[in-house]
Amino acid sequence: MLYLAEFHWGWVAAAAFIGLLTGWVGTVHRGGGLAKRTLQWSALALVVAIACAVGRVVPGRFGYWLDLGLLLFAAYIVGCALGAWLRDLLIADHRSAP
């Protein structure tokens, strides 16, 4: 993973920046969200992908792409969390004022 982060640092930074923007904008509109069953299946797919990457089940080019995809996804999620946190920290919510 360190090789991926070093070699693809520009793409990782771009994924984190896009996540930052998404986290900043995504807190403005509170949608209905996803169904519980959809979230469970997505979490299961993510756990299986991480297990395959850690166990090196997928060899060659497809394993490399799996590792790279998981790294970019992690950078995006961290960027989303950071963007939402920064928006909450920097932008005051005036609706709660009397």
Q: Treating both helix axes as pointing N-terminal to C-terminal, what angle do 36-54 and 60-90 enclose, rounded to 10 degrees?
A: 130
Residue 6's pLDDT is 84
Residue 19: name the closest of 68, 78, 71 by CA.
78
Residue 95's pLDDT is 60
Instruction: Give the residue extent of every domain in the chain.
Output: 15-24+34-89
Residue 17's pLDDT is 96
Q: What is the pTM of this model?
A: 0.80
**Residue spans of the chain under pLDDT 50:** none
